[in-house]
Amino acid sequence: MFGQAAWMPPGNTEWWAGDLVVYLDSATDRSLIVFSKGPVVLFRFEGEGSQGRYVVPARGVVRSASGAALDSILPCQLAAAWKDGTPAAGWTWRKPGPDTFELERAATGEKLHGYLASP
């Protein structure tokens, strides 16, 4: 799926806008989510089963996590919510339209709003 989104990182007061690419494979339980602005990757998440790797190059963040530790990683929750509408506790998921979404975590202020269209 391809689309656009606006992301407010935790502890930030400004939105970052960019292109969003989401690949979800339910047969292998793999996911790839890339959020970028032009050639610059704002964040990237690769997941398989209960393990994942999250990278935010502009902030020097590189995290590998598994199990419950994935609950705090926004792209992991986007994948979970898009698949079955249920992100982890503490996250709010809304789909105002068939292709639009809002994912938010009140505890940190992190938000991702956007749309995704299937190719």
DSSP string, 27-48: TTTEEEEEEEETTEEEEEEEEE
Distance in angstroms (rounded) separating the CA atoms of residues 14 and 78: 20
User: How many angstroms separate the Cα of 40 from the Cα of each of 26, 37, 56, 58, 75?
Assistant: 28, 5, 11, 9, 17
Distance in angstroms (rounded) separating the CA atoms of residues 119 and 117: 6
pTM for the structure as a whole = 0.89
Q: Which residue has the tokens 């990278």?
A: 55
Tens of pLDDT along 88-104?
999 999 999 999 999 99
What is the length of the chain? 119
Q: Residue 119 has what pLDDT?
A: 65
Give first-to-last CA distance, the chain, whole Å: 6
Calculate the average pLDDT of the chain: 93
Tens of pLDDT along 71-88?
999 999 999 898 888 999
Tens of pLDDT along 33-77?
999 999 999 999 999 988 999 999 988 999 999 988 889 999 999
User: Domain-by-domain residue ranges, the chain?
Assistant: 2-117
